Structure 1
Amino acid sequence: MNSNSQENVNDLKDTEWRRYSEPIYIDKLRFHPKHFIIPFHYKKYIESVLLPHGLIRDRIEKLAQEIHDVFQNNELHLLCLLKGSRAFFSLLLFYLNKMNIYSQVKCSKPPYMEHYVRVKSYINDTPNSDGKLSIISEDLDCLKGKDILIVEDIIDTGNTLEKFCAWLEKLNPRRVLIASLLEKRTPKTNGIKANFAGFSVPDEFLIGFSLDYNEVFRDLDHICIMNTQALSDFAV
């Protein structure tokens, strides 16, 4: 372990919470769908493109660099919150592993370990009325005493993430940090923030890049704002 790696890990030990990556603030920026490749079956449902695919990829690569700078080659367990975080998680892990390939720090095993957890809390565009969180996962007993990075697609109210973190603490991890591609600016927030954050976005219901509306729009490359017709046509 090099000196910079040890220093960064010690920073984590001594700090309960800190922001390692400030999000890019997205306000009134909107793109017309006609300027991008949109699948035919979605064209009539997209109001505007908020984050083009290329911008998303570049931002994720930068987040990976910042995560790597903090953890270096120390063991880190990444938890993908399915299904919305799948695209973000896949690219983040790709860039982290790519950086590890060129790292000159010696290590006896892969530093980044991947896990998958299915978390569901929404019906249509609102949280479950009973407030319950559905969690399905593999056996995560291996996380005891380990550093964990939750990989989340979007922090909205923060209620789902807060409940999941409370559930995760029962496994007695060493430390839990959060990486979120998006943080929504909403008055409903409980104040929870990511340690590594991609974009700060307006209070809109966003779809695309694995974000869905009742399991639709996950295959859309860009992160978009859907129109009212989509809300009604795909409601359950």
Structure 2
Amino acid sequence: MSTTPHQDVQRVLLDERAIQERLREMGSRITEDYADDPPLLVGVLKGAAFVMADLSRKIDLDVDMDWMAVSSYGSGTKSSGVVRILKDLGADISDRRVLIVEDIIDSGLTLKWLLANLRSRGPKSVDVATLLRKPDAARVEIDVKYVGFDIPNEFVIGYGLDYDESYRNLPYVGVLKRSVYED
């Protein structure tokens, strides 16, 4: 993959090196925090696939992994707030420590719903790790234990993040040009 930004990228916000360094730091903290009782990592598809893969390899513990797919976006650029489970967990999380792995938290509406849903299943604990957070876009307060980067409230793509299912495979996080998604 070329390091030259994609033609639809206004600017690169976080390059591949910065992302990997921050995930390394987060992995070290997770390793320390969960040393006595490793968590079940729950990746939120599709966006968190890249974060989950890279972060899990930076955690020096024997961790289990599972996946959920929830949707509240459609093809737009803003969360609808209506959540649907597209793929549920395969594992029973009762009496387990759960660490949700997210690519990005913007409004927080989907994550608030997901936290309530998982907590209703009787785990020991449920915490959140996210690569990106948009504080200025938050509509609800969410306690996030591990945050990679706080970013501006701009529409970003790459490193798992998409617009209309495109751009996920870019190795960096970039700001999408408005001309791509505005008529």
State if a TM-score over 0.5 links the two structures.
yes
Give the deviation of 1:139 after TM superposition.
2.8
1:44-85 Cα deviation digits (max 9, x unpaired): x11000000110001001100000011115231000000111
Specify the SS of the correspondent of 1:210: coil
CA distance in 2, matches of 1:48, 1:193: 29
Give the deviation of 1:223 after TM superposition.
0.1
CA distance in 2, matches of 1:133, 1:187: 18
Question: Residues 145-224 of structure 1 correspond to what in structure 2 (within 5 A)?
Answer: 145-224=95-174
**Does 1:127 pair with 2:79?**
yes
CA distance in 2, matches of 1:73, 1:230: 47
CA distance in 1, matches of 2:89, 2:109: 22
Question: Residues 1-236 of structure 1 correspond to what in structure 2 (within 5 A)?
Answer: 36-38=3-5, 42-43=6-7, 45-96=8-59, 99-100=60-61, 111-123=62-74, 124-128=76-80, 131-135=81-85, 136-140=87-91, 142-232=92-182
CA distance in 2, matches of 1:225, 1:187: 15
TM-score scaled by length of structure 2:
0.92
Q: CA RMSD in A?
A: 1.7
Give the deviation of 1:173 after TM superposition.
0.6
Considering only CA atoms, is the larger Rg found in Structure 1 or Structure 2? 1
TM-score scaled by length of structure 1:
0.72
Gaps of 5+ in 2: none
Runs of 4+ in 1 over 4 A off after TM superposition: none
CA distance in 2, matches of 1:150, 1:166: 12
Contact 1:155 1:193 in 2 (8 A): no
1:159-205 Cα deviation digits (max 9, x unpaired): 10000111112211111011011110215431213101110111111
Aligned residues: 180
Contact 1:207 1:217 in 2 (8 A): yes
Specify the SS of the correspondent of 1:143: coil
1:13-45 Cα deviation digits (max 9, x unpaired): xxxxxxxxxxxxxxxxxxxxxx9333xxx32x1
Q: Percent identity between the aligned chains? A: 28
Hey, which of these two has a bigger chunk of helix by percent?
Answer: 1
Specify the SS of the correspondent of 1:91: helix
Specify the SS of the correspondent of 1:139: coil
